[in-house]
Amino acid sequence: MIDKTNNIPIFKQIYTNLIMEMQIGRFKKGDLLPGTRSLALDLNVSRNSVERAYMQLEIEGYILSKPNLGFVVLDTFSEIKLEAIPNMRKPQTESSDSIIDFKYGGNGFSTFPKAKWKQYTLEVLSSETDPFLDNKGNINLRIAISEYLYRHRGVRASYEQIVVTNGYVYSLEIMSNILKARNPKSTITMENPGFPVTRNTLIKNGMFDEPFVYSNGNLELPEKVNPCLKAVIVTPSHHFPTGSVMGVSMRQTLLTWAREHSMYIIEDDYDSEFRYKGDPIPSLQSMDESGNVIYFGTFSKPLSSTLRMSYVILPVSLLPSYEARYEGYTSSVSTLQQSILEKFLVNQDYEKHIRKMRKSFKKKHDLIKTICEKQFGGRVSIHGEHGGLFILLEVHKNSSSDTLVEEALQNGVKVYPTTDFYLDGREKSTVFMGFTDVSSMDIEKGIELLNQAWFGDLNDVVD
The answer as to whether 109 is a domain residue is: no
Domain end point (choices 314, 330, 347): 347
The answer as to whether 409 is a domain residue is: yes
Per-residue pLDDT tens digits for 386-430: 899 999 999 999 999 999 999 999 999 999 999 999 988 777 899
Mean pLDDT of 19-42: 82
The answer as to whether 102 is a domain residue is: no
pLDDT for 362: 93
Provide the CATH number for the domain around residue 392. 3.90.1150.10
Q: Do 32 and 172 belong together in one domain?
A: no
pLDDT exceeds cutoff 50 at 81? no
Q: Do 300 and 392 belong together in one domain?
A: no
pLDDT for 12: 84
79 or 148, which is more confident?
Answer: 148
Confidence at 29, pLDDT banded by 50, 70, 90: confident
pLDDT exceeds cutoff 70 at 107? no
**Cis-peptide, bond into residue 302, ω within 30° of zero:** no
Per-residue pLDDT tens digits for 218-271: 999 998 999 999 999 999 999 999 999 999 999 999 999 999 999 999 999 999
pLDDT exceeds cutoff 60 at 359? yes
Q: Do 130 and 271 belong together in one domain?
A: yes
Number of structural domains found in the chain? 3
308 or 140, which is more confident?
Answer: 140
pLDDT exceeds cutoff 60 at 80? no
Domain end point (choices 347, 368, 384): 347
pLDDT for 290: 95
Q: Do 257 and 395 belong together in one domain?
A: no
The answer as to whether 108 is a domain residue is: no
pLDDT exceeds cutoff 50 at 84? no
Q: Do 175 and 262 belong together in one domain?
A: yes
Per-residue pLDDT tens digits for 162-206: 999 999 999 999 999 999 999 999 999 999 999 999 999 999 999
Q: Do 202 and 288 belong together in one domain?
A: yes
Mean pLDDT, the chain, as a whole number? 88
Q: Do 359 and 391 belong together in one domain?
A: yes
- Which of 42-46, 169-173, 270-274 is least confident? 42-46
Mean pLDDT of 54-75: 79
53 or 149, which is more confident?
Answer: 149
pLDDT exceeds cutoff 80 at 385? no
Neighbouring CB atoms inside 10 A of 321's CB total: 15
pLDDT for 17: 85
In angstroms, rounded to a whole number, what is the distance separating the alpha carbons of residues 266 and 185?
A: 18
Beta-carbon-side half-sphere exposure of residue 405 (alpha carbons within 13 Å): 18
The answer as to whether 1 is a domain residue is: no
Confidence at 459, pLDDT banded by 50, 70, 90: low
pLDDT for 457: 67
The answer as to whether 392 is a domain residue is: yes
pLDDT for 85: 36
Confidence at 90, pLDDT banded by 50, 70, 90: very low
- Is the whole model's pTM more than 0.85, yes or no? no
In angstroms, rounded to a whole number, what is the distance separating the alpha carbons of residues 399 and 415?
A: 15
pLDDT exceeds cutoff 60 at 32? yes
Domain span including residue 39: 10-73
